[in-house]
Structure 1
Amino acid sequence: MARPPHPPRGDIGRRVAARRLQLGLSRQDVALRAGAAPGYIQYVEEQDATPGIGFLLRLADALETTVRELTGGTVDLPSGLGRAAREARMVELDDTECWALLGDHGVGRVALTQDDGPVVLPVNYQVLDGEVMFSTGERSPLAGAADTEIAFETDHIDDAFSKGWSVLLVGPVRVVEDEDTARRLREAAYSTPWAGEGRDHVMILAPRRITGRRIIVNDAPGDAR
């Protein structure tokens, strides 16, 4: 049986690989853009490489980002610190585009109302046939919101070009009562919750409304002029 690809080991390599896949580029594509050999792109992604600043500048440009992003300088900063771009415009997304942006898994936020007021919580999510699954703690605020209506939002912000998108789902959330079904859903999920163990309470959001918006910047890479 073929072995799975070796995961990137260095922090820069992980960020390069993630950004490349986010843009839908091959290593050959990035190599051509950065003026490098595809083998070197592979080396940067898979080894604990420390490229020089000259190559990092070319690589950041090839990946439509910044050296600071690739080297982790913004890891603890909130998204959206860049200034608004000139001639930006906002467009509404249809349902198909929204689901495509959600993908099959990721990290988003749920908004719900508690006795002492509203709360917004980060969650790992998994998309399942037009519904969204969360695994949470049995005594968490999200678990307490069973059989109520919640909002779920996820987005992507590109600080380098001051653009991005957001998708919002609103609908009732329910508990998966059958433990065998819940176990199968947990095992099929892309990953366990980032927040750690003890979050085996499986919940499903069935959206009754889905909306999305994208900010387009005419002179940014990838956007129509």
Structure 2
Amino acid sequence: MASAPHPAGGDLGRRIAARRLQLGLSRQDVALRAGAAPGYIEYVEEQSATPGVGFMLRLADALETTVRELSGGEVDLPSGAGRGARRARMVELDEAMCWTLLGDHGVGRIALSTADGPVLLPLNYQVSEGEVVFGTAEGSPLADAADTEIAFEADHIDDAFSKGWSVLLVGTVHAVTDEEAARRLREAAYATPWAGPERRHVMVLVPRRITGRRIVVPDAPGDTDGP
């Protein structure tokens, strides 16, 4: 079972810890894959370490990614710059898998209509009992969309192996007007919105349709004949 990271000592450590947890690996798992001591994985994650090129290549392979991505060289580039993989195929995901991939929180995008036309906005989300919860600011496009139908999408792109998944939810978004209920939802959230703590207006999406797709690459680590 993957262990939760302690505060990392640098950007490299944070990226390594985040990727390890994304794969559900413990430090010992990564150490075995990379041919290193678990204590050194802990040191690299928690201290401002400068590992050698050889170790970084083994670590990137263990974490199914690239040295460039671990070191932050692609942090400001859009995902999906890699070439299409050999023998890749698209599979449909059932509703249970869609919710599993969404997890209990993350960053997704909402699509809604405004007076100026359609907009697509990234935002933090939280999953709660089959609904998706957002924090937004009073008077924002999302707040103004209360009681209308919107679309919500979340995805993950693995540039190292040219694979990924996407989940789409469509339904009506509602404002949580009861302050006690809104407070409970804010307190249950994993974190405050990245864009600022003033986004305290709570909105809930009740999906009527959930669909998902995954790109499966048979030669990539973790992929099999199933979805």
TM-score > 0.5, shorter chain as reference: yes
Partner Cα separation in structure 1 for residue 86 and residue 6 of structure 2: 42
Partner Cα separation in structure 2 for residue 52 and residue 138 of structure 1: 49
Partner Cα separation in structure 1 for residue 29 and residue 199 of structure 2: 40
Partner Cα separation in structure 2 for residue 59 and residue 139 of structure 1: 46
Residue 13 in 1 paired to residue 10 in 2? no
Q: Which residue of 2 aligns with 1:217?
A: 217
- What displacement does 1:53 show? 1.1
Counterpart mapping for 1:156-195 below 5 A? 156-195=156-195
Partner Cα separation in structure 1 for residue 15 and residue 95 of structure 2: 29
2:8·2:14 contact (CA, 8 Å) conserved in 1? yes
Partner Cα separation in structure 1 for residue 52 and residue 163 of structure 2: 28
5+ residue gaps, structure 1: none
Partner Cα separation in structure 2 for residue 48 and residue 189 of structure 1: 30
Q: Which residue of 1 aligns with 2:77?
A: 77
Count of residues in Structure 1 that have an aligned counterpart in Structure 2: 222
TM-score, normalised to structure 1's length? 0.97
Q: Classify the secondary structure of the residue corresponding to 1:29.
A: helix
**Which aligned runs of 4 or more in structure 1 are off by greater than 4 angstroms?**
none
- What displacement does 1:6 show? 2.9
Report the AA paired with residue 135 of structure 2. Answer: S
Counterpart mapping for 1:131-150 below 5 A? 131-150=131-150
Partner Cα separation in structure 2 for residue 99 and residue 5 of structure 1: 24
CA offsets 1:60-96 (integer angstroms, 9 cap, x no match): 0000000000000000000000001111000000000
2:5·2:17 contact (CA, 8 Å) conserved in 1? no
- What displacement does 1:104 show? 0.2
Q: Which residue of 2 aligns with 1:102?
A: 102
Report the AA paired with residue 69 of structure 2. Answer: E
Partner Cα separation in structure 2 for residue 26 and residue 176 of structure 1: 38
Report the AA paired with residue 130 of structure 1. Answer: G
- What displacement does 1:10 show? 1.1
Report the AA paired with residue 75 of structure 1. Answer: V
5+ residue gaps, structure 2: none
Q: Classify the secondary structure of the residue corresponding to 1:155.
A: strand
Partner Cα separation in structure 1 for residue 187 and residue 181 of structure 2: 10
Q: Classify the secondary structure of the residue corresponding to 1:101.
A: helix
Q: Which residue of 1 aligns with 2:204?
A: 204
Partner Cα separation in structure 2 for residue 5 and residue 167 of structure 1: 27
Counterpart mapping for 1:35-50 below 5 A? 35-50=35-50
- What displacement does 1:147 show? 0.1
Judge which range, 17-26 or 154-163, deviates more: 17-26
TM-score, normalised to structure 2's length? 0.96
- Aligned CA RMSD, in angstroms, stands at 1.0
- What displacement does 1:5 show? 6.1
Q: Which residue of 2 aligns with 1:155?
A: 155
Partner Cα separation in structure 2 for residue 11 and residue 50 of structure 1: 11
CA offsets 1:155-193 (integer angstroms, 9 cap, x no match): 000000000000000000000001111111111100000
- What displacement does 1:108 show? 0.2
